[in-house]
Amino acid sequence: MNAQTNSTQLAVVGGGPGGYAAAFFAADLGLQVTLIDLEPQPGGVCLYRGCIPSKALLHVAKVLSEARHASQWGITFSDPQIDLDKLRSWKNNVVQKLTSGLGQLSKQRKITFIQGRAYFVDARTLRIQKESGEEEHLAFEHAILATGSRPAILPSLSLDSPRVLDSTGALELPDIPHTMLVVGGGYIGLELGTVYAALGTKVSVVEMTPGLLPGVDRDLVSVLARRMEKICQAIMLNTTVVEMKEEQNGIRVRFEGSEVQEAEQVFDKVLVAVGRKPNSNDLGLENTRVELDARGFVKVNAQRQTTEPGIYAIGDVCGEPMLAHKASHEGRVAVEALSGRKVAFQPQAIPAVVFTDPEIAWCGLTETQAKQENRSIQVARFPWGASGRATTLDGNEGVTKLVIDPESERILGVGIVGSGAGELIAEGVLAVEMAALASDISLTIHPHPTLSETLMEAADVFLGHSTHLYRPKRN
């Protein structure tokens, strides 16, 4: 069969939040765009089996946990009944609604969307194996690679069993197991561990480093860790899984580490979430001059251009942090660059949010980083015990902190743990990007009573006059 040959100004390979944002923006700038993805609609891992379904389930987890806690406020609900089929279909509907919306937005912009697998035949041509079985050759002027990442698999953790899940399998919500081991105390492990614990599973978490969420400031993590200890059966730190075997009743797991109490345990299900790796293989990149680094990430410059000038790369495939919003922003930079504009990817702050209960969010310089780089900083902390709004939400355990340059008084970073931290961090990102001073935040009138006031009060702590926190002056 002769493959059809078409041409396009811009081919975008991968329709996640990097790829579709780039394709939409390019079409808005007047480029002729073809977007290729394996799924029937744009959306990628984020919408189909990542951010969106997990947040839908985390919302349910929060409702369940609040309903259980409400007796403390004088309201007692009967034990929640979980209709798993209905819950699953609600989550699937959320995904369907958003992905079909993206499909429409793509059509309205006259983007050619192709469902299929793309492969670089050379630096100017893609071969696309379409879902329909047909093959197409697509000649392009520019291409943007936005193929994302996939769960990393470790040899000791690879067991072909329906009882061993990755994040995709866990989000499908096949059942509510009695027990579950979560391997990896990072973003995915803690978010999905929270979901399953709320649904009634006895969740144990095993993390090989000395603490949950390695790399994140400890004062923020400790608040979440206390909560995780309450909702989980066990949190095993400094521990690794050395072997997993399937038995009739579950997966027998052998642990090793300094804090191991029971060297072997059996779990109904095991969720493996030990990081992700870039989808940079099987794309025919060897037929181009695109280079990869030692970890398989595509090498790019500040314009997100690869070592093959006509090909750009954005999102998880070109490096950390593997976050949807970083990918979308890179997509915009790449499109502007290939359109001839003078741009660079130079964010001062990329926010990170862990959507647990409580949430953790940070941006810009962290205390941990400042210590590693030996930078002189001053940290202003506002504990939510002194926040009226946090008290009304029964969420006094939260903390908002500002990392400040002591000389210029510029805000270099922000860290928040507490309810809604993921929403609150946006103000911090703006402050860091706009080079705001502590006095700028302090002099900005924040609405009362809200958690956003904790940012203003943290700035006031730095300036020595927080209204709701009395700190006697030292003589």
Nearest distance from C-beta of residue 424 to ligand NAD, angstroms: 15
Judged by DSSP in three states, 249 sits in: coil
Question: What's the closest the beta carbon of residue 398 comes to ligand NAD, in angstroms?
Answer: 18
Residues that bind ligand NAD (CB under 6 A): 154, 183-189, 191, 206-209, 214, 240-241, 273-276, 321-323, 353-355
- What is the closest distance, in whole angstroms, from the C-beta atom of residue 211 to ligand NAD in the complex? 9
Nearer to ligand NAD, 372 or 408 (CB): 372
Annotated catalytic residue within 142, 178, 325, 448: 448
- Give the residue closest to ligand NAD by C-beta: 186
Amino acid, res. 468? H
Nearer to ligand NAD, 36 or 244 (CB): 244
> Of 114 and 253, which CB lies nearer to ligand NAD in the complex structure?
253
In the complex, the smallest distance separating the C-beta of residue 215 from ligand NAD, rounded to whole angstroms, is 8
* Preceding omega of 321 cis (within 30 degrees of 0): yes
* Residues listed for the chain: 475
Angle between helices 324-338 and 19-28 (to 10 degrees): 40
What span, in angstroms and rounded, lies between the C-alpha atoms of 275 and 244?
A: 18
- What does the DSSP 8-state code read for residue 103? H
Looking at beta carbons only, is 140 or 355 nearer to ligand NAD? 355
Work out how close the CB of 187 gets to ligand NAD at its nearest, in angstroms, rounded to a whole number. 4
* Alpha-carbon span 468 to 382, nearest angstrom: 9
Q: How near is the Cβ of 70 to ligand NAD at its closest, in Å?
A: 27
Give the number of C-alpha atoms closer than 13 A to the C-alpha of residue 396, restricted to the C-beta side.
Answer: 6
Of 113, 98, 84, the closest CA to residue 173 belongs to: 84
C-alpha angle 412-415-417 in degrees, rounded to nearest 5: 170
Tell me if residue 59 is catalytic.
no
Residue 171 near residue 46 (C-beta atoms within 8 A): no
At position 335, the amino acid (one-letter code) is V
Q: How far apart are CA 74 and CA 79, in angstroms?
A: 15
Question: Toward ligand NAD, which CB reaches closer, 177 or 186?
Answer: 186
CB 143, CB 289: distance < 8 Å: no
**CA–CA dist 214, 219 (Å, integer):** 12
For ligand NAD, the closer CB: 177 or 351: 351
Specify burial of residue 32 (Cβ count, 10 A radius: 0-12, 13-18, 19+).
middle
What residues act catalytically?
448
